[in-house]
Amino acid sequence: MIKKKNIYISLYVLVPVIYTGISITGIILTYQLFNPKDGHANVLKFFFVIAVTALITLLISLILLRLLFKPLIQFVNKTRTMPIIAKQQPESLRRITSDLSRMDEYFDNVTNILSSIEAKALFPEVVGSSASMRNIFTQILKVAPTDSTVLIYGESGTGKELLASSLYKHSDRKGNPFIKINCVAIPEGLLESELFGHEKGSFTGAIEQKKGKFEIADKGTVFLDEIGDMPLTTQAKLLRVLQEKEFERVGGTKTIKVDIRFIAATNKNLPEMIKKGQFREDLYFRLNVFPINIPPLRDRKEDIVLLANYFLKSLPAKLRLSNSALQRIIEYSWPGNIRELKNVIEQASILNEDGVIKPYHLLSLSDKTATDTSFDDDMPLDHRLNLMEKEIIIDALRKSGGVQVKAAGILGINQRSLWHRIKKLQIDVDSMKNLQ
């Protein structure tokens, strides 16, 4: 009498087998399609295609497995807790259920990894793998091929300009002019001349005709950074360019037609500014066609370590963060966002002694009051004193919104003395602005 033997095959074995078969088939087909008749194959191209084929087949096989087994998972989960079935549940079924549950989790992990790989390939200049950043990448890919106006919201230092550049690089206007205009950096009296150009003799100092940024950007893209700080008079003229695609130079009568795609960015609350009469409502609706919101760094903590390591790699010295330093940068609120993180890493790289960045090298990271004297046990006295002094100055700068005159008054010292201390301690004053 032949005894039957039950053979149990784990899904962790089954999945690779299925994937390998599909991959091999895909590679063979790829080779047949890309192998030239003259016998001289482009090796790099061939292997690139193989890699892409392997990734695609992996995703397809996992999707198919999930589609096949998900109804079974749901059925088993509903029935496994029933008293009668739970008692009579065979060991093999329990093992299969366990494998299916882990398979579902494995699929989600693989999907996230593949999404991160895709994001890194498409947006190499933007560091971020969080769900919110992947959502932004998806938004960019959708709106980039269009000519729709994009309004990017985000706190200071979140990387609005970098995101605008990525949007331009994925647009159909790539290769045409990409003009960046900071509405804060240009004095109000010169802003219109910079944007629209001017005719010779239109004002004192206009010794020759000059083309404006809009005229230079024809067929291209204009990025208006800090649009919330644009004067109201200029806002009215900008509205006409957005609506009619035309304008006149300062002091001129000739109407100039342009074909421009606009991207704007701001860290201001524009609806609130509209209520106060500081921003035109009609201009806001023209700009806010496709809004993109960049979350602050504190709301996407999974990107903090990625960014920190990215900045470390960009430095000439070979450095790493200790575990305690990693913990501190993750817990910190980062009011200055990515810009502040970059400055902190650069500062710590100067202060470190042995190639390892420790918590006491991160002098700017303090959400505590100056009276909190809890320090690392191995922190030298001079580092403790510098940290305490820095915390006091940062607290004053935050209370004054980054205005050094006000901060000096709070501290009871003159502005020159405060400036020297800020320089010595390498405090990022810009990150303290608008934090009152």
pLDDT in tens, 222-267: 999 999 999 999 999 999 999 999 999 998 889 999 999 999 999 9
Confidence band of 167 (pLDDT split at 50, 70, 90): very high
CATH topology of domain 131-295: Rossmann fold (3.40.50)
Q: Taking the mean position of all CA atoms in its chain, how far away is CA 216? A: 29
Each domain of the chain, given as residue ranges in start order, spans 11-122, 131-295, 299-432
Residue written as token pair 């960045």: 357
Residues 199/243, Cβ–Cβ less than 8 Å: no
**Mean pLDDT lowest for which of 51-55, 191-195, 209-213, 420-424?**
51-55
Cβ-contact 11, 103 below 8 angstroms = yes
Mean pLDDT, range 415-432, rounded to an integer: 79
Cβ-contact 167, 146 below 8 angstroms: no
Q: What are phi and psi of 198, to 5 degrees?
A: -150, 160
Residues contacting 238, CB < 8 A, separation 6+? 195, 224, 230, 283
Centre a 10 Å sphere on the Cβ of residue 86 and count the other Cβ atoms it contains.
11
Q: Cβ-count burial of 223 within 10 angstroms (0-12 exposed, 13-18 middle, 19+ buried)?
A: buried
pLDDT score at 18 = 67
State the Cα–Cα distance between residues 23 and 54, nearest whole angstrom.
5
pLDDT value of position 266: 96
User: Are residues 418 and 407 in contact, defined by beta-carbon separation less than 8 angstroms?
Assistant: yes
Reported as a single tens digit per residue, the pLDDT across 105-140 is: 555 555 454 445 555 556 677 888 788 888 899 899
CA distances from 413 to 175, 390, 396, 405, 406 (A): 52, 15, 12, 10, 10
User: How far is residue 245's CA from residue 61's CA, in Å, rounded to a whole number?
Assistant: 50
d(CA 376, CA 379): 5
Task: State the alpha helices, DSSP H only, in 213-303.
Answer: 213-216, 232-244, 270-275, 281-287
Q: Give phi and psi for 197, each to the nearest 5.
A: 80, 180
Residues 341 and 297: their CA atoms lie apart, in Å, by 9
Tens digit of each residue's pLDDT (9 = 90 or more) over 306-330: 899 999 998 888 888 988 888 889 8
Which span out of 42-46, 151-155, 206-210 was modeled with the highest average pLDDT? 151-155
Distance of alpha carbon 49 from alpha carbon 55, whole angstroms: 10
pLDDT at position 3 is 47
Q: In the CATH scheme, what is the code of domain 299-432?
A: 1.10.8.60
227 contacts: CB under 8 Å, gap ≥ 6: 151, 183, 264, 265, 266, 287
- Which residues touch 225 (CB under 8 Å, ≥6 apart)? 160, 161, 164, 180, 181, 182, 183, 184, 264, 265
pLDDT for 369 equals 35
pTM greater than the 0.85 cutoff: no
CA 412/CA 417 separation, integer angstroms: 10
Q: Which helix (H) or strand (E) holds 178?
A: strand 178-182
- 338 contacts 297 by C-beta, under 8 angstroms: yes
**Least reliable range by pLDDT among 41-45, 184-188, 361-365:** 41-45
